[in-house]
Protein backbone atom coordinates (compact mmCIF):
# COMPACT_ATOMS: atom_id res chain seq x y z
CA UNK A 1 0.00 0.00 0.00
CA UNK A 2 1.30 3.42 -0.95
CA UNK A 3 1.93 5.42 2.24
CA UNK A 4 0.74 8.53 0.45
CA UNK A 5 -2.74 7.17 -0.20
CA UNK A 6 -5.51 9.00 1.60
CA UNK A 7 -9.28 8.73 2.03
CA UNK A 8 -11.47 11.74 2.79
CA UNK A 9 -14.78 11.45 4.62
CA UNK A 10 -17.09 14.46 4.70
CA UNK A 11 -19.62 14.35 7.52
CA UNK A 12 -22.56 16.56 6.60
CA UNK A 13 -26.23 15.69 6.48
CA UNK A 14 -26.91 18.62 4.15
CA UNK A 15 -24.01 17.56 1.93
CA UNK A 16 -25.21 13.94 1.87
CA UNK A 17 -28.66 15.16 0.78
CA UNK A 18 -27.17 17.36 -1.94
CA UNK A 19 -28.29 20.55 -0.19
CA UNK A 20 -24.75 21.85 0.37
CA UNK A 21 -21.65 21.70 -1.80
CA UNK A 22 -18.76 19.79 -0.23
CA UNK A 23 -15.95 22.33 -0.49
CA UNK A 24 -13.91 21.11 2.48
CA UNK A 25 -12.91 17.80 0.91
CA UNK A 26 -11.78 19.68 -2.20
CA UNK A 27 -9.55 21.85 0.02
CA UNK A 28 -8.11 18.77 1.72
CA UNK A 29 -7.43 17.12 -1.63
CA UNK A 30 -5.78 20.26 -3.04
CA UNK A 31 -3.52 20.72 -0.02
CA UNK A 32 -2.50 17.07 0.23
CA UNK A 33 -1.92 16.66 -3.52
CA UNK A 34 0.69 19.45 -3.33
CA UNK A 35 2.56 17.19 -0.92
CA UNK A 36 2.33 14.05 -3.06
CA UNK A 37 -0.72 12.41 -1.46
CA UNK A 38 -3.20 10.50 -3.65
CA UNK A 39 -6.88 10.52 -2.79
CA UNK A 40 -8.10 6.97 -3.40
CA UNK A 41 -11.47 7.14 -1.61
CA UNK A 42 -13.98 9.93 -0.94
CA UNK A 43 -17.44 9.82 0.60
CA UNK A 44 -20.07 12.05 2.15
CA UNK A 45 -22.20 10.67 4.97
CA UNK A 46 -24.92 12.03 7.22
CA UNK A 47 -24.14 13.21 10.73
CA UNK A 48 -24.78 9.69 11.97
CA UNK A 49 -22.38 7.82 14.23
CA UNK A 50 -23.16 4.43 12.69
CA UNK A 51 -22.52 5.62 9.11
CA UNK A 52 -19.31 7.38 10.10
CA UNK A 53 -18.01 4.30 11.90
CA UNK A 54 -18.94 1.97 9.02
CA UNK A 55 -17.00 4.08 6.54
CA UNK A 56 -13.96 4.48 8.77
CA UNK A 57 -13.91 0.76 9.55
CA UNK A 58 -14.13 -0.19 5.87
CA UNK A 59 -11.30 2.15 4.91
CA UNK A 60 -9.06 1.15 7.83
CA UNK A 61 -9.78 -2.58 8.11
CA UNK A 62 -10.66 -3.67 4.59
CA UNK A 63 -8.73 -1.20 2.42
CA UNK A 64 -5.85 -0.45 4.85
CA UNK A 65 -5.79 3.20 3.79
CA UNK A 66 -2.75 4.73 5.54
CA UNK A 67 -4.28 8.19 6.10
CA UNK A 68 -7.97 8.87 6.65
CA UNK A 69 -9.10 12.48 7.02
CA UNK A 70 -12.59 13.43 8.11
CA UNK A 71 -14.07 16.88 7.74
CA UNK A 72 -17.14 18.11 9.58
CA UNK A 73 -19.08 17.15 12.67
CA UNK A 74 -16.44 18.29 15.16
CA UNK A 75 -18.23 21.24 16.74
CA UNK A 76 -20.70 21.68 19.57
CA UNK A 77 -23.98 21.12 17.74
CA UNK A 78 -25.93 18.12 19.05
CA UNK A 79 -25.57 16.38 15.66
CA UNK A 80 -21.76 16.78 15.63
CA UNK A 81 -20.72 13.19 16.40
CA UNK A 82 -17.57 12.66 14.35
CA UNK A 83 -15.22 12.69 17.37
CA UNK A 84 -17.38 10.20 19.27
CA UNK A 85 -17.56 7.88 16.25
CA UNK A 86 -13.80 8.11 15.77
CA UNK A 87 -13.04 7.48 19.43
CA UNK A 88 -15.21 4.36 19.36
CA UNK A 89 -13.20 2.75 16.56
CA UNK A 90 -9.60 3.83 17.15
CA UNK A 91 -7.27 1.63 19.18
CA UNK A 92 -5.49 4.63 20.65
CA UNK A 93 -5.46 8.38 20.18
CA UNK A 94 -2.66 10.66 19.02
CA UNK A 95 -3.67 13.79 20.92
CA UNK A 96 -0.76 15.98 19.80
CA UNK A 97 -2.12 16.19 16.25
CA UNK A 98 -5.47 17.64 17.30
CA UNK A 99 -3.93 19.72 20.08
CA UNK A 100 -1.54 21.53 17.74
CA UNK A 101 -4.32 22.27 15.25
CA UNK A 102 -6.42 23.82 18.02
CA UNK A 103 -3.48 25.71 19.53
CA UNK A 104 -2.25 27.16 16.25
CA UNK A 105 -5.81 27.73 15.06
CA UNK A 106 -6.52 29.81 18.16
CA UNK A 107 -3.90 32.29 16.95
CA UNK A 108 -6.21 32.95 13.99
CA UNK A 109 -9.64 32.62 15.60
CA UNK A 110 -10.87 32.01 19.13
CA UNK A 111 -13.38 29.50 17.72
CA UNK A 112 -10.60 26.96 17.10
CA UNK A 113 -10.82 25.86 20.74
CA UNK A 114 -14.40 24.74 20.12
CA UNK A 115 -13.31 21.98 17.75
CA UNK A 116 -13.57 18.57 19.38
CA UNK A 117 -11.72 16.75 16.61
CA UNK A 118 -9.61 13.76 17.60
CA UNK A 119 -6.82 11.83 15.94
CA UNK A 120 -6.05 8.18 16.40
CA UNK A 121 -4.80 4.88 15.09
CA UNK A 122 -6.75 1.86 13.90
CA UNK A 123 -4.52 -0.93 12.65
CA UNK A 124 -2.06 0.77 10.33
CA UNK A 125 -4.36 3.72 9.55
CA UNK A 126 -4.04 7.22 10.97
CA UNK A 127 -7.44 8.88 11.30
CA UNK A 128 -7.61 12.66 11.74
CA UNK A 129 -10.75 14.75 12.29
CA UNK A 130 -10.66 18.22 10.70
CA UNK A 131 -13.30 20.93 11.08
CA UNK A 132 -15.92 21.23 8.37
CA UNK A 133 -15.26 24.63 6.84
CA UNK A 134 -12.83 25.16 3.96
CA UNK A 135 -11.24 28.04 5.91
CA UNK A 136 -10.64 25.82 8.94
CA UNK A 137 -9.18 23.12 6.70
CA UNK A 138 -6.76 25.66 5.18
CA UNK A 139 -5.76 26.77 8.68
CA UNK A 140 -5.46 23.29 10.22
CA UNK A 141 -4.12 20.81 7.71
CA UNK A 142 -0.85 22.57 6.77
CA UNK A 143 0.14 22.62 10.45
CA UNK A 144 0.33 18.83 10.66
CA UNK A 145 1.65 17.94 7.19
CA UNK A 146 5.33 18.06 8.24
CA UNK A 147 4.77 15.17 10.69
CA UNK A 148 2.43 13.02 8.59
CA UNK A 149 4.93 11.11 6.48
CA UNK A 150 6.97 10.13 9.53
CA UNK A 151 3.83 9.04 11.38
CA UNK A 152 2.73 6.89 8.44
CA UNK A 153 6.18 5.33 8.13
CA UNK A 154 6.19 4.44 11.84
CA UNK A 155 2.73 2.87 11.52
CA UNK A 156 4.11 0.60 8.81
CA UNK A 157 7.03 -0.47 10.97
CA UNK A 158 9.85 1.88 10.02
CA UNK A 159 12.77 1.96 12.45
CA UNK A 160 13.89 5.40 11.26
CA UNK A 161 14.34 7.78 14.18
CA UNK A 162 12.54 11.12 14.42
CA UNK A 163 14.66 13.83 12.80
CA UNK A 164 17.16 11.38 11.33
CA UNK A 165 16.90 12.67 7.77
pLDDT tens for each residue of 72-101: 999 999 999 999 999 999 999 999 999 999
Number of other residues whose CB lies within 10 A of the CB of residue 164: 7
Mean pLDDT of 60-82: 97
Question: Domain for residue 44, yes or no?
Answer: yes
Closest Cα to residue 85, out of 113, 48, 128? 48
CATH number of the domain bearing residue 119 = 3.40.980.10
Residue 135 is predicted with a pLDDT of 96
Question: Domain for residue 42, yes or no?
Answer: yes
Residue 79 is predicted with a pLDDT of 96
Phi and psi angles of residue 109, each rounded to the nearest 5 degrees, phi first: -155, 135
Question: Domain for residue 96, yes or no?
Answer: yes
Domain carrying residue 88: 5-143
Q: How confident is the model at residue 162 (pLDDT cuts 50, 70, 90)?
A: low
Q: How many domains does the chain have?
A: 1
pLDDT tens for each residue of 117-151: 999 999 999 999 999 999 999 999 999 999 999 99
Pairwise CA distance, residues 28 & 30, whole Å: 6
Question: Domain for residue 148, yes or no?
Answer: no
Question: Domain for residue 156, yes or no?
Answer: no
Closest Cα to residue 154, out of 85, 94, 69, 83? 94
Question: Domain for residue 41, yes or no?
Answer: yes
Q: How confident is the model at residue 157 (pLDDT cuts 50, 70, 90)?
A: confident
Question: Domain for residue 129, yes or no?
Answer: yes
User: pTM of the full predicted structure?
Assistant: 0.94
Residue 105's SS3 state is helix
pLDDT tens for each residue of 106-117: 999 999 999 999
Question: Domain for residue 150, yes or no?
Answer: no
Amino acid sequence: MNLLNVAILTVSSKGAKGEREDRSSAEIEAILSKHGYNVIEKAIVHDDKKRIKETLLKWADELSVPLIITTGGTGLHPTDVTPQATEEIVEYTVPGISEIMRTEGYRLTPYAILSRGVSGIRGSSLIINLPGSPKAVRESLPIIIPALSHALEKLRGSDRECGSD
